[in-house]
Structure 1
């Protein structure tokens, strides 16, 4: 079965592992089912052994019957001892197979989702629950399901023996066990719902834990000594999660275990009653002892293990419901496509009365915005935080599709282009760029996965002034970055930003967008990088988004945005002559560039 949009139920707990690793799934199921049968066979073998021993002791039987009984008990015991180890090995193999296949499938599904789901808190919670170690979730669910099957087989074995000997005792216990099982199912559903709520707190707890012990915050943690305060916040979130879980678990624990106490009392009465058929000879001593032993085991199974299995089944079913809802999220397979190897040159890009608001919001981020960008020119968007600058880049690159008005590229609506074509047109460096803990070379080469030569990489590093830094690294451009791998090297924030910019430079895109990518650089270094960038990008189209206005002097046209609208436009000289918003912003920053 593939991960299709459909109704998911308990049967899929079995079907998913069977689909991805049939051999290991069959081994696990077969061994667990045999374990359930073995416990019943072992009970009968023990009864036979006791009866044969009594007969030999009374001079009425032979030693051969004892030897055979001992052999049966030894085989059953050995199997029950060895099989968990074989099952554990098969489960490890199944988990690895699921990691290689199921996990990859889910990652691809996430990558193909519409962008608005990533920024929505509720849908991101759902994605996190489904994609957090799915291979472990599915392996454990499969094993737990067949643990329950094995347990039921074992219980039915005891019931069968009881029914053939003292039928009414089996009926009474069965009548109590069924509602107990159903109660456990309800408890499992309630527990999973609580776990869903707890997950929201757990993510905050994990984040605060990383702040307390992670490397990224070590300098500020030492300097500002905020550990005690953050630890209080961590404890507060942790306690909320713990108490929420505990409250639900205690409630259902009391209900389920109350039923278990009733079963224990009834079983004790049944054991006392069974003495009479033993005295009359209707029940052999061996079978009596074996039944007592298994009744004690049955009490444990019905009071503890079976409710626990039902609880796990309900929670695993809850995971499948989440999986079903996750797969219903709208996605496009073309989001997985690589940039076209034949990129389209952008001659013109135009916004015509474009308005946009984020899903679930009433306020428009952009309102009736219109502008035109032409090939080979440099453009800049400036404005206060929240003015809508980054939103423009997300609309240009096709991340958001639900806008009003028209976005036209080379005379065609942006909606006419495939994702592969759009990816080939644009290269973006965001302020919150990614840091890849892989080799320096691959960090840059990611900018052009179709065709990136060493010459392109060296040229880009020279533009962003990183060539000298690379030469002093232990393994040069092949050095691993970050501390994930042994021998990895750390870089400064400014160096990481230059790497992000180099990815844009090696791209074959005809329009490069720089969205506040130089925030970690000093103003003079920033201006130098922009100047170098402007030189290499001659003939191509560039869009700068920056709070630092000195860099915008390089732009052929500057768009000043306020409250989702373009309030001023023109070259640096034209805007300074207008003496409006741009001129006021520039004058307020003038001292930053006094040496420029």
Structure 2
């Protein structure tokens, strides 16, 4: 009893949630374009009356034709038949015009709604803290929200269903008035049964798709490896195509197997339901034939009522599927709205302070701790000071915590404990936009934007993207030769789009450095952006960078110690802890971890 009651409450709750989603959707549509929505509703209302008027005209036409075929019938009947046919033609033309206008209005409303949804998803994603991108659950949420485009079907289905419901009601009134209200009640019961079955199956399909989200993401990942450029070299070098194809096939058919089981179950249930509805409706038609004989209905009236019954049958299937479609797509829309209603994690508030135009003191890191979801600290009790204008190197073995520290300094990661100060401002109290204008970075995994050279460099300072002098100055500092780009700064880079020019890793790295030089930032953090360069070239790039950075504060992360000789101070990390710091000469004299690393690396070049 308690279980049954719980199920009822659960179902009631789900139904209530669906209605909430539908209400949100119509509010959204009203915001997107109230004019299109109003026009669409008017068009649907006008189309409600057309089937009933057609049925009335068919009744009149058949009766008049029957009378006209009787010997000795008046020729005036033919004029009446012509008038009825003309009215029917006019009605059908009107219906066609209304549907044509509806298609255009619906297309425009869907386009506007799709733009609105994708725009909001895009904006929301940019407001999620970078730290959360380490969590696979976020990718599942984004994937589910991206299927929110399916909620666009709600626009069409929700408005269409109003028309279909009123049309079915009008047919039931005809059946009840001219035949028997109990039969109209039976057809209503058939509709409810069909509706419940379709909604149950729709919910099962939705649940399956949501549960298969991680599997589908994996399947898409394998397919992107096979079809994309990034992995193309290694796939061919290591002959991975068969292995990856088999991985993709395994995931694909695993997903398909589950879908097929549900599809077979759905087909079986709906087939049994269809047979039941067909038999019931045809029994009603037999009853109509008997009543027509007893009450001496005209042929036209018989045809009209028969049409009402048979159309009701198709309306039951269409309407129940439409409502099921609404229910199913409302579940997708629920995922979309749930994502859009997530709290903005990096939006500023009135208590945040503007980053100073000029740093006067420096950067202070006090007792810094950071841990990922595993719980183990990647940084542990790290404290140091960077004075204004200093050039700092952060070194350590792989996994020492160098990049994690850089992301904390950039505000991409929120420390678990401790503070990071820029002058007297704690990083979490600084307004984000003002921070990014004064602090910039170049990462090891820098982005190779498949856009123009101008955009690739200008992303470091979007407001100065059209400043040719500044662009030229930036590529000169990075050591990039402009003459290799045939269309200058408007040269399309990458091979994804037509006309694009592919570049070497070294050239891409210099472009990423150009982004840092075009920036007006006072603090620059380089997270191993030259890792793909040979050690000698890397040293040359770093020395030139330090020279050109002038009085800016520069922090560069590297695992090659030859680049550190020119640094004002070197921080040595090991297992997330700061174990040494000092100049190159001081650390070599200490004969500690840095000295050992430097000695080992020196032997590489002997």
Normalised TM-score (structure 2): 0.89
Match of 2:453 in 1: 440
Structural mapping, 1:452-471, within 5 Å: 453-467=467-481, 470-471=482-483
Matched, 1:226 2:240: yes
Matched, 1:388 2:436: no
Structural mapping, 1:387-536, within 5 Å: 387-451=400-464, 453-467=467-481, 470-536=482-548
Structural mapping, 1:303-382, within 5 Å: 303=317, 305-332=318-345, 334=347, 343-345=357-359, 347-358=361-372, 360-382=373-395
Structural mapping, 1:10-49, within 5 Å: 10-49=22-61
Q: Is the 8 A contact 2:195 2:321 kept in 1?
A: no
Tell me whether 157-166 or 194-203 shows the greater mean CA deviation.
194-203
Q: Distance in 2 between matches of 1:328 and 1:497?
A: 38
SS in 1 for 2:122: helix
Q: Is the 8 A contact 1:575 1:582 kept in 2?
A: yes
Runs of 4 or more, structure 1, over 6 Å off, are 339-342
Q: Distance in 1 between matches of 2:79 and 2:357?
A: 85
CA 496–294 in structure 1, closer or farther in 2 if over 3 Å, else same: farther
Matched, 1:262 2:276: yes
Deviation at 1:332, TM superposition (A): 4.7
Normalised TM-score (structure 1): 0.90
Q: Distance in 2 between matches of 1:250 and 1:310?
A: 21
Q: Is the 8 A contact 2:143 2:213 kept in 1?
A: no
SS in 2 for 1:274: helix
CA 593–160 in structure 1, closer or farther in 2 if over 3 Å, else same: farther
Match of 2:112 in 1: 97
CA 157–576 in structure 1, closer or farther in 2 if over 3 Å, else same: same
Deviation at 1:497, TM superposition (A): 1.6
Deviation at 1:268, TM superposition (A): 0.8
Unaligned runs of 5+ in 2: 1-17
Match of 2:103 in 1: 88
Match of 2:13 in 1: none
Matched, 1:194 2:208: yes
Q: Distance in 1 between matches of 2:331 and 2:115?
A: 24
Deviation at 1:207, TM superposition (A): 2.3
Match of 1:3 in 2: none
Q: Distance in 1 between matches of 2:153 and 2:336?
A: 16
Deviation at 1:336, TM superposition (A): 12
Deviation at 1:533, TM superposition (A): 0.5
Matched, 1:248 2:262: yes
Match of 2:79 in 1: 64
Q: Is the 8 A contact 2:355 2:430 kept in 1?
A: no
Deviation at 1:536, TM superposition (A): 0.5
Q: Give the one of 108, 126, 130 matched to 1:115.
A: 130
Q: How many residue pairs align between the two structures?
A: 582
Matched, 1:286 2:300: yes
Q: Is the 8 A contact 1:424 1:508 kept in 2?
A: yes
Match of 2:557 in 1: 545
Deviation at 1:147, TM superposition (A): 2.5
Deviations 1:55-95 (A, max 9, x none): 22232771233223223332343344454443332233223
Matched, 1:213 2:213: no
Match of 2:309 in 1: 295
Q: Distance in 1 between matches of 2:271 and 2:38?
A: 33
Deviation at 1:349, TM superposition (A): 0.9
CA 245–347 in structure 1, closer or farther in 2 if over 3 Å, else same: farther
Q: Is the 8 A contact 1:444 1:500 kept in 2?
A: yes
SS in 2 for 1:539: coil
Deviation at 1:271, TM superposition (A): 0.6
Unaligned runs of 5+ in 1: 1-5
